[in-house]
Structure 1
């Protein structure tokens, strides 16, 4: 799209009370200092945005005279459309006009914004404006028209393994998300790997404590089995003796019980033997007849006979048990118990040694598992590190390709879009150099040429052709003709203001 300035009308704008400028392909503005040369191009951004050519606030008030109203109008052509825009200030109030129709500020702004973007317009109109912006804004303004290299293009320039990994991952996630995932993963795995190393070391140290186990496990098992066999045999003997002693004690207890019964029986015999036969009834005290007395005597005799039979029976049973007891033997098992205790005690070191072998087996398995976990964690950690390094390489190559792409737009200028930090990361940067010198160190003529080259690149990339204003044109003898209308301001000593419209 091409923007063409046709006619500019100025009324009471700074030093110009009434001035009309007709623009050609080249418009030359010459004159001595303080003749209002720079005011003419300043009028154009003030009309559109209320600023000077650098985007700063501008006071259009008359300088050497008084006037009630300041007004500027511009007839311009944008593509195939012609529009007349006007702005004025009267008694402190700003007035807007579109095709001579009074408009509100927002309506006027909308019309201008639809024509072109403010930043790009000022950058194309005033070659020096671009360099007044912050470097991040300069960078963004240039790169908004330059597409970044496609992922596939960047991957083709990476080492095969890195390209293969990233190519697969980029099918599922963006590069930013991949980096977030693996940065978080690396942080987690770093801690996990340190913990895994510590666990492996601790378990190995525990295992090393058992390295003095010189006796084979099988020998220990044979020896302990022999001891256990002896213990079982002696315990079986102890059980057998205990059963016999139990029988002995039981028989002895029975004999004592019978002896007690015999003694009690002996005590009852005198009472039974000397029991007096009464001739009267114990209940009614009546005299008993001879037959009844005889019956009482016979009943006593029966009781005495029964007593004697029972008493003799107990003695016979006791004597029989005594004979059995005499044939039995009571064995003291204290010595046998002590033998069993000592045998069992002698097996404790063997059992402890066997237990140590069990711990060695367990610790060996734990060491192997810990080492495997440590190895797996290291593999995962190295994978995340490799992916992060691949992303770093991707960004570096992307930056390199993008820089090459941007650099290819310029003929004499060098553009720095990135700088490499100490950690290898690429950091955004923007600096323009000419012949190895940064813009801030260029001479006036070098700065103008650099501005014109940047301006032409922005024009080509944005597909927008805007008139360009070159101030202090007397400082450069020659420069490449920029695209679009050219407005030149040149100081000529002793000359009044002169405006020339020159065909290309």
Structure 2
């Protein structure tokens, strides 16, 4: 979009009681000092925003004469259309006009905002305005119209391993997310790796301390021989102990049966001497002949049962005594002593063998700890590699972005990033230099030329062309004319105000 100023009318604006300014492609404002040259540029920024050329609030009231009101109107062309804007101060109140129609402040501001952003317009109109902004705002304005390097562009500049790794990872997560993930991983894995190293070291020390001194093969061979001897003796003693045990069992059983036989004898004698009762034990009535016979028969039956029980006990005892005669007690005390002595030799060997088993178990723990340490280190290194790749990506991205921005300028150097010494990472900044000097160290004419180059870049990148007002042009011997209309203010000694449109 191209905007051109056609005509500016001032009534009671600062030193101008009634002034009409017609603009051409080049408009020269010539006069001695204090003749109101700068006020013409200020009238335009006051009309649009109520500010001066540097964006500060402006009081346009006359100081050398009295007036009831102040009125500024500007006729301008917007591409193929035309627009007439006006601002008036009457009795301390602002009034606004759009195409001569009284309008509310919000309506007026909407019309202006549709034309251009305030900071952008002031930077294009006044070459010195841009440098009054905070560096972050300056940076934002320059980068707003500069496309950031695409990931593919940056990947091409990275070493292949880093490029291959990141190009896969960014399909699932953004670089910001990856940075958060792997910074968190690194913090966690740093601690885990230290713990894993400590555990491996401790287990290795235990392994060195518990290493067996006697070879396992030698121990097994010696143990095998001793166990063979012990088992051979125990085979004999076990057999003997079975016989001896059987003898003891038989003797016990015979003693029990003998006691049982004697008890049955006593029971038989008591039963035999038992008198036949001729009265009932319950009702005490005298028993009849048949009843007495029944009592005698019952006694005889009990006697026979006792005899049978006695005979059974005698027969069982004889059977056991016959078996006992076939057995002979074997004295194995000597053999048991040999077994005890052999076991005393076996015990320390088995202990040494158990140390081998413990040693092997400890070796497995060491292997597990070393594997865990290795895997933790690999995971840690993976996160470090990714973080380094992201850091390199950002550095390359910044480098490419700087190149894109720098390619827009011919005489100025633009610094968008600076390195943080503690981390080595880049942080945003915005520094403009000309011939190696920062903007604040430039002369006024150099600052103006720098501003003109900035405003042309902004104009080209934003596709917005507006008039440019160069104040105090007499201090600049030569400069590249900006795109769009050029309005220059120049001091000419002893000259009254003259506006020349070409």
What's the TM-score bracket when you normalise by the shorter of the two chains?
0.7 to 0.9
Q: Check conservation: 2:473, 2:489, Cα contact below 8 A.
A: yes
- Look up the match of 1:180: 180
- Look up the match of 2:15: 15
- Look up the match of 1:154: 154
Q: Check conservation: 2:22, 2:501, Cα contact below 8 A.
A: no
Q: Check conservation: 2:196, 2:373, Cα contact below 8 A.
A: yes
> 1: distance between equivalents of 2:308 and 2:81?
156
Q: Check conservation: 2:200, 2:369, Cα contact below 8 A.
A: yes
Equivalent positions of 1:99-498 (< 5 A) are 99-211=99-211, 213-257=212-256, 259-260=258-259, 328-330=327-329, 337=336, 339-422=338-421, 423-496=423-496, 498=497
Q: Check conservation: 1:25, 1:501, Cα contact below 8 A.
A: no
Compute the TM-score of the two structures, normalised by the length of structure 2.
Answer: 0.84
Moved more, 267-276 or 135-144: 267-276
Compute the TM-score of the two structures, normalised by the length of structure 1.
Answer: 0.84
Q: Check conservation: 2:29, 2:500, Cα contact below 8 A.
A: no
Change (3 A) 1:57 1:348: farther
Give the C-alpha shift of residue 266 in structure 1: 8.0
Moved more, 59-68 or 263-272: 263-272
Secondary structure of the corresponding residue to residue 38 of structure 1: helix
Give the C-alpha shift of residue 173 in structure 1: 4.1
Give the C-alpha shift of residue 85 in structure 1: 0.5
Secondary structure of the corresponding residue to residue 64 of structure 2: coil
Deviations 1:120-174 (A, max 9, x none): 1000011111001111111111111122233333332333333333334444444
Give the C-alpha shift of residue 196 in structure 1: 3.0
Change (3 A) 1:326 1:26: same
CA RMSD of the aligned region, Å?
Answer: 3.9
Secondary structure of the corresponding residue to residue 481 of structure 1: coil
Unaligned runs of 5+ in 1: 289-299
> 2: distance between equivalents of 1:320 and 1:184?
89
Q: Are 1:4 and 2:4 counterparts?
A: yes
Change (3 A) 1:78 1:249: same
- Look up the match of 1:60: 60
Give the C-alpha shift of residue 42 in structure 1: 0.9
Change (3 A) 1:39 1:379: same
Number of equivalenced pairs: 492
Deviations 1:320-369 (A, max 9, x none): 97787677544566665555444334322222222222233333333334
> 2: distance between equivalents of 1:398 and 1:320?
109
